[in-house]
Amino acid sequence: MIRVLICDDHLIVRQGIKQILADADDIVLAGEAEDGPQALQRVRLGGIDVVLMDIAMPYRDGLDVLRQLKSEFPKVPVLMLSTYPDKQYAVRSLKLGAAGYLNKSADSQQMTSAIRKVAAGGLFITPTVAEHLASSIGAGQAKAVEAPLHERLSHREYQVFRLLATGRTVSEIAEQLVLSSNTVSTYRARVLEKTGARNDVELALYAVRVDVMPV
User: Domains in the chain, ordered, with CATH?
Assistant: 2-134 (3.40.50.2300), 149-209 (1.10.10.10)
Q: Report, in angstroms and rounded to the nearest whole number, the Rg of the chain calculated over CA atoms.
A: 18
What percent of the chain is modeled with pLDDT above 90? Answer: 48
Report the Cα–Cα distance between both ends of the chain, in Å, rounded. Answer: 34
The CA-based angle 155-156-160, given to 5 degrees, is 120
Taking only the tens place, the pLDDT of each residue in 156-168 is: 888 889 888 888 8
Strands 78-82 and 27-33 come out as unpaired
Q: How far apart are CA 67 and CA 62, in angstroms?
A: 9
Chain-centre distance for alpha carbon 124: 15
pTM score? 0.72
Contacts of 86 (CB under 8 A, 6+ apart): 101, 103, 126, 128, 129, 132
User: Under a CB-based contact definition with an 8 Å cutoff, are residues 5 and 119 in contact?
Assistant: no
User: In a 3-state reduction of DSSP, which class is residue 30?
Assistant: strand
Q: What type of residue is 187?
A: Y
Taking only the tens place, the pLDDT of each residue in 12-32 is: 999 999 999 999 999 999 999
User: In a 3-state reduction of DSSP, which class is residue 32?
Assistant: strand
Taking only the tens place, the pLDDT of each residue in 50-101 is: 999 998 887 778 888 998 999 999 999 999 998 876 666 788 888 889 999 9
